[in-house]
Structure 1
């Protein structure tokens, strides 16, 4: 059973502001992995896409509600498998979000962690970034540089997911 973000700021749970600690911790882990990989400037939309995709992976893969007690190194293989190119990551995110929403509804208490995760997921789905067309085949054997080649508008999660995956590899 997941118990996310139902603590108050002082831990008493007495109707005070609930702090989304699980989401904030997942976002911190994702941020650190991306900064360590030094793949793009932290102020870029690409960085945000990678951070949000990776934070969702970290947050949603915590099925035992032990996020704050995990050791990052012990979870890297799991996160790598979830973010791999051939995995249906977006379907997995949708299923896990629905599952957590159902748990919140059953508990009768909305989770601030889930609200922030839903906001990140909404941004990743609705925001499009101009990115190199990774499916384009270069004609005539030309090698494309960073600024060369065709570009397409891509949902942010399609760009962020491989960036997050690569950041895990580089860690």
Structure 2
């Protein structure tokens, strides 16, 4: 904000003001700078970023160009997913869309077992892959798990590299058309 790190600004403001006031200031300024994101389908939480971090351990997401891509139409925001099928997604508003790949960002705590019934990859106890790092990234039928290793960006990078190499290997051995026909994959913008 204003060329200053939001984190540094928050820490500086916390020297003189309580968390709620600093949060209100950060939310006010971000609304002026970014605008009303609910018009784009992005609804903000009621709590401020510092309160979210202290209560839930969630870190606010910083925009690095995503909002501009959403505003331009390069990225689309969809409502909640009602149902996934082989190559399509049904949303709660009744719309059905087809995708080549689906990538779900599930957040810091995994709720995957509540909606994905793949008992071979994820533990129903904690929602994490049953196999531990570095083996927990690959499931059956084109299902991959990235970012569940609890090893930060390095662990996520290792898993993402394994997934990319696996997909490239299949792509190269089958050819593009055969690979896409044999996969149940899609992208969720």
Q: TM-score range by the shorter chain?
A: under 0.3
| TM-score of the superposed pair, with normalisation by structure 2 | 0.23
Of structures 1 and 2, the larger Rg is shown by: 2
| TM-score of the superposed pair, with normalisation by structure 1 | 0.25
Which structure has the higher relative contact order (CA within 8 Å, separation 6+)? Answer: 1
